[in-house]
């Protein structure tokens, strides 16, 4: 079946540091890949997505590139802010009724 692997964290960074959260996946076919973000006390919301190999998704300074050769979709940001503190979920969708497979989520803490 499909699966998504990411570290649980927490990842603690100082403000303005460079962020990388690794995500690798296993899937048949050609899934779409997503990063969702969950701020404290809220539901998940879409951060970015990529729907085919070599696509780059970007939003709010975050980027991730769909790498089919390494089955990866790592999330990066050049300079994090305290307001980026949240839990980040990597996910894939191969379509169909079972919809989306989520990773366990990576908690990011950014300290001033």
Partner 1 sequence: NAGVTQTPKFQVLKTGQSMTLQCAQDMNHEYMSWYRQDPGMGLRLIHYSVGAGITDQGEVPNGYNVSRSTTEDFPLRLLSAAPSQTSVYFCASSPWTGKKDTQYFGPGTRLTVL
Q: Which parts of this chain interact with partner 1 (CB under 8 A)?
A: 8, 31-32, 34, 36, 41-46, 49, 51, 89, 93-100, 102-105
Cα 106 to Cα 20, 88, 96: the distances in Å are 11, 5, 26
On whether the CB atoms of residues 105 and 25 are closer than 8 A, the answer is no
Nearer to partner 1, 32 or 75 (CB): 32
The least CB distance from residue 79 to partner 1, in Å, is 26
The least CB distance from residue 77 to partner 1, in Å, is 20
On whether the CB atoms of residues 8 and 23 are closer than 8 A, the answer is no
The DSSP output letter for 68 is: T
Interatomic CA distance for residues 22 and 29, integer angstroms: 21
Interatomic CA distance for residues 57 and 90, integer angstroms: 13
Nearer to partner 1, 97 or 112 (CB): 97
Nearer to partner 1, 17 or 67 (CB): 67
The least CB distance from residue 43 to partner 1, in Å, is 4
The DSSP output letter for 82 is: G
The least CB distance from residue 62 to partner 1, in Å, is 15
Nearer to partner 1, 7 or 13 (CB): 7
């Amino acid at each position: 079946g499909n699966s998504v692997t990411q570290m649980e964290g927490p990842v603690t960074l100082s403000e303005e540091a460079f962020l990388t959260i690794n995500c690798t996946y296993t899937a048949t076919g050609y899934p779409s890949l997503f990063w969702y973000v969950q701020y404290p006390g809220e539901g998940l919301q879409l951060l970015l997505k990529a729907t085919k190999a070599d696509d780059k998704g970007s939003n709010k300074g975050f980027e991730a590139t769909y790498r089919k050769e390494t089955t990866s979709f790592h999330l990066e940001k050049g300079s994090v802010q305290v307001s980026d503190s949240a839990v980040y979920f990597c996910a894939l969708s191969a379509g169909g009724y079972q919809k989306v497979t989520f990773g366990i989520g990576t908690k990011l803490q950014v300290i001033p």
